[in-house]
């Protein structure tokens, strides 16, 4: 079974462009698209997973990339596979603990075969894959490590290896271009009800109740004017009107905690929007997942009305 996979190259927590394979990492530049936006494109295209190459060069950048990976695994709608500079069992354990479904080892490393055997014993072959850039990376005995891994990831130069294995094979070739910042798929949403039919307040605004599409938690309440509503539909990212700053506000543009549209619904009076979103990180500026965390009244038992 062979299928293509979209890959991104993570540098400083963002999608890196301008490189071909990991060897060009030193010359790459950081793209303008959030990795989660690429993941949304993958999901909408029907992709089964997304491959993330971690290009961290130092401990500071590594911390940023790992946090981004954690959020992708936690909030993403499709599985995440990880690859990069993997030198020991602890590197593999870190990616798996973040929530990555599989970790791919690169056999350019001199310790690759030995590490793969140790990793298979420690984590199981279902959590491991083998990344090949050239056919010369086949072990000296000519055998593929089908007992140690559950999947192969092949660069175009090594694509011929797919005919020598019964393992599922991921191919990079045709979809690599979709990973660059300028070619990420864009999804435009068209409202079934025009803005003119919305009931606005005296400032021309409509309140928006924002809900997590996965668990229905209410995350926040904000406001939209026509420009914000149209920007939200055009970009797929929640955009509001800031009443205090008197300007458009793309949620997450500063913090990285974007909200991606899953659905927009108007209430019975046409005066309130319910937005179900994929939330990256915290919705609240305090760092809480939801802005609603100050409990006022709660009943844990049977309701009783006093006489």
For residues 222 and 210, the answer to whether their CB atoms sit within 8 Å is yes
Q: Rounded distance, CA 304 to CA 307, Å?
A: 9
- In whole angstroms, what separates CA 272 from the centre of its chain? 29
Does 271 show up as a binding residue in the annotation? yes
Q: Is 100 flagged in the annotation as binding?
A: no
Q: pLDDT tens, 5-18?
A: 777 888 887 776 54
Rounded distance between C-alpha atoms, residue 178 and residue 29, angstroms? 16
pLDDT at position 203: 96
Burial class (CB in 10 A: 0-12, 13-18, 19+), 93: middle
Region 44-53 average pLDDT: 77
Name beta bridge partners: 41: none
Residue 256 DSSP label: S
Residues in a beta bridge with 278: 260
pLDDT on residue 17: 56
Residue 29 labelled as part of a binding site: no
Q: 28 labelled as ligand-binding?
A: no
Comparing C-alpha atoms, which of 154, 275, 303, 300 is closest to residue 218? 275
Is residue 187 pLDDT above 60, yes or no? no
The Cα diameter of the chain in Å comes to 86
Residues 213-267: tens digit of each pLDDT? 889 999 999 999 999 999 998 878 899 999 999 999 999 888 878 888 888 999 9
pLDDT tens digits for 105-125? 876 555 567 888 899 999 999
To which residue do tokens 């609240």 refer? 284
Question: Is 212 labelled a binding residue?
Answer: no
Taking Cα atoms as reference points, which of 270, 199, 261 lies closest to residue 230? 261
- Check the annotation: does 307 bind a ligand: no
Instruction: Walk me through the domains of the chain, giving residue ranges and CATH numbers.
Output: 2-176 (3.20.20.70), 195-279 (3.10.20.810)
């Amino acid at each position: 079974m062979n299928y293509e996979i979209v890959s991104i190259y993570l540098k400083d927590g963002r999608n890196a462009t301008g490189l071909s394979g990991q060897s060009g990492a030193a010359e790459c530049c950081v793209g303008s698209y959030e990795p989660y936006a690429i993941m949304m494109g993958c999901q909408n295209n029907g992709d089964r997973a997304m491959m993330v190459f971690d290009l961290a060069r130092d401990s500071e950048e590594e911390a940023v990339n790992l946090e981004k990976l954690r959020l992708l695994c936690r909030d993403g709608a499709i599985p995440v596979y990880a690859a990069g500079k993997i030198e020991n069992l602890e590197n593999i354990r870190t990616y798996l603990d973040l929530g990555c479904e599989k970790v791919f080892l690169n056999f350019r490393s001199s310790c690759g075969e030995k590490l793969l055997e140790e990793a298979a014993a420690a984590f199981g072959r279902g959590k491991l894959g083998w990344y090949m850039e050239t056919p010369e990376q086949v072990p000296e005995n000519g055998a593929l490590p089908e007992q140690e891994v559950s999947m192969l990831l092949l660069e175009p130069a090594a694509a011929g290896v797919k005919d020598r294995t019964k393992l599922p094979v991921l191919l990079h070739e045709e979809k690599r271009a979709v990973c660059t910042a300028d070619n990420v798929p864009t999804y435009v949403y068209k409202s079934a009800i025009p803005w003119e039919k919305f009931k606005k307040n005296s400032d021309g605004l409509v309140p928006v109740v924002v809900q997590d599409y996965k668990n229905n938690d209410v995350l926040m309440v904000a406001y939209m004017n026509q420009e914000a509503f149209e920007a939200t539909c055009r970009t797929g990212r929640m955009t509001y009107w800031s009443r205090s700053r008197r300007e458009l506000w793309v949620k997450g543009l500063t913090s990285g905690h974007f909200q991606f549209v899953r659905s927009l619904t108007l209430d019975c009076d046409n005066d309130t929007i319910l937005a179900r979103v994929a939330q990256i990180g915290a919705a609240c500026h305090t760092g809480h997942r939801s802005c609603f965390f100050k409990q006022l009244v709660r009943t844990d038992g049977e309701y009783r009305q006093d006489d």
